[in-house]
Amino acid sequence: MNTSMKFKRVIAGLACVGALALSANAQALTFVPGAGDVANPVVINANPADGLFLDTINFDLGAFTHFSMTSTVSNISFFGAPIFENVGDTQFIFPTSSTYLNVPLPDLGLPDDYHLHPQGLNLGGGSYQITMWGSTPAAVPIPAAVYLFGSGLIGLVGLARRKMRAAA
């Protein structure tokens, strides 16, 4: 392959990347601990350009372990917001849902662990609103049956030891 052909391919690739970058609207958000819980969610209002759109919203759950999101759309078709992780930029949650409730997301150790990609088709003058919050579910108490089982097991061990002593 000659040098002019390589140069043409590089220019064509840069033109494609530029066109994609110009066609996508981008927003950035980071969860701040205490300002993104269920009592004080983060709300984003967006008015994407007409036609197909793909936005980016970066977020970090901080001390939270679970992610929740609801969305409302106006004059937008095919709306969804898949979740990607920022280590390898791979899709973490595959369904392009518009609602997530208590989705467990592990801490990846990055300033912005994950990003949403709100996407859809703006039919003209459309908008969407995303409400996001993090949570940590309450610890599940150990049921009384576990304690009852444990005490019964200890009793059986005691009986077995008593039988062994008597047989010896």
- Six-digit token string for 104: 């467990």
Does pTM top 0.85 for this prediction? no
What are the tens digits of pLDDT across the range 130-141?
999 998 877 777
What are the residue ranges spanned by the domains of the chain? Answer: 24-168
* Backbone φ, ψ for residue 10 (5° rounding): -65, -45
Q: What is the CATH number of domain 24-168?
A: 2.60.120
What are the tens digits of pLDDT across the range 60-85?
888 888 999 999 999 999 899 999 99
Which of 114, 142, 152, 145 minimizes the C-alpha distance to 36?
Answer: 114
How many angstroms separate the CA atoms of 130 and 16, rounded?
A: 30
Instruction: Extract the residue ranges of the chain whose pLDDT is less than 70.
Output: 1, 4-8, 10-35, 95-96
Helix (H, G, I), strand (E, B) or coil at 126: strand
* Backbone φ, ψ for residue 5 (5° rounding): -70, -40
N- to C-terminal Cα separation, the chain: 90
